[in-house]
Amino acid sequence: MDATRLIAVAMERAEELPGSERENPFGPEWDVYKVRGKVFLLIPLDDTGRVTLKSHPDDAVALRETFADIVPGYHMNKKHWITLLPGPSLEDELITELITESYRLVVEKLPRARRPVDPAVFGIRREDDPR
């Protein structure tokens, strides 16, 4: 997957998530996606094409070991954040799932009254779901 496609898939998914907002708190060089003021996705607007998002620590390790194009979070806590790089090991569906999971991880830490969705069920596929 090339840089342009990676960023396009990431932005498209982030923008369709309930309560998601794009901001530029670090200046015009970074698009930062937040839900209720909490960051779940960072996209630098440079030519690297990288995307940084939150991940459960156990998942982060497994993802880095499985996919050559997933590395520790760029300029973030390496335990809780991963960075996706343009490359052949990533596909649209994986990127969409990882962004959804990042969003869910942030939402589940919000007070219940501020949650735009129920993180226990949002974005989770059931085995009997034909999609």
CA–CA distances in Å: residue 14 to residues 11, 62, 75, 103, 128: 5, 23, 20, 8, 26
* Dihedrals phi, psi of 122, to nearest 5 degrees: -65, 130
- Global pTM reads 0.90
- Crossing angle of the two packed helices 92-107 and 3-16, in degrees rounded to 10: 40
pLDDT in tens, the chain (131 residues): 999 999 999 999 999 999 999 999 999 999 999 999 999 999 998 888 999 999 999 999 999 999 999 999 988 888 899 999 999 999 999 999 999 999 999 999 999 999 998 888 897 765 554 54
